[in-house]
Chain A
Amino acid sequence: MHPNEVSPGTEDTRASFILRVLTASLFLIAGIIFVIYAAAFHTVPVLVETEVEVIPEIPEIDSIEAMRMSPDELDEFFNPAPVIEYEMVKEDRSEPVIIQGVTVGAYGRAAGGEIEYLFAEGEEVPEACPT
Chain B
Amino acid sequence: MVSMAEGKITTVSSKLARWRTTIQTYFLFIWILPFIRIHSVCSPVFHCYACPLAAFGCPIGVIAQFSALHLFPFLAVGTIILVGSLFGAFVCGYACPFGFLQDLVGRIPTPKFHLPKWTGYIRYVVLLGLVIIVPFFFGERHPLFICRVCPAGAIEAALPAAARQAIAGEAVSWPNALKITILLLFLLAMFVNVRPWCRILCPLGAIFGLFNRFSAVYMRLDTDKCNECRLCEKKCKYGVIPEKELQSANCIRCMECADLHCGAFVATSIFNRKKAQPPDPKDKSITDEK
Contact = CB atoms under 8 A, between A and B. Distances in A.
B84 to A, nearest CB: 7
A43 to B, nearest CB: 11
B42 A99 contact: yes
Nearest to A35: B78
A63 interface: no
B244 A20 contact: no
Contact of B49 (A32, A35, A103): A103
A131 B153 contact: yes
B61 A9 contact: no
A65 B76 CA distance: 66
B3 interface: no
Prevailing SS type, chain B contact patch: mixed
Interface stretch (B105-113, B192-200, B210-218): B210-218
A99 to B, nearest CB: 5
B78 A34 contact: yes
A21 B66 contact: no
Interface string B40-55: 1110000011101000
Interface in B145-195: 145, 147-148, 153, 157, 161
8 contacts: A9-B248, A17-B273, A23-B214, A28-B85, A37-B78, A102-B65, A103-B62, A109-B139
Interface in A1-59: 1-10, 12, 17, 20-21, 23-24, 27-28, 30-35, 37-39, 42, 44
Contacts of B42: 99
B226 A100 contact: no
Given A96-B41, A113-B70, A129-B50, A10 B221 contact: yes
A107 interface: yes
Residue among A4, A24, A37 with the highest chain B CB neighbour number at 10 A: A24
Contacts of A113: 70
A128 B161 contact: yes
B140 A27 contact: no
Contacts of A3: 223-224, 226-228
A4 B223 contact: yes
B214 A20 contact: yes
A7 B226 CA distance: 13
B243 interface: yes
Contacts of A103: 39, 49-50, 57, 61-62, 65
A121 to B, nearest CB: 18
Interface string A118-131: 00000000001101
B69 interface: yes
Contacts of A20: 213-216, 218, 270
Contacts of B145: 131
Given A1-B243, A4-B223, A34 B81 contact: yes
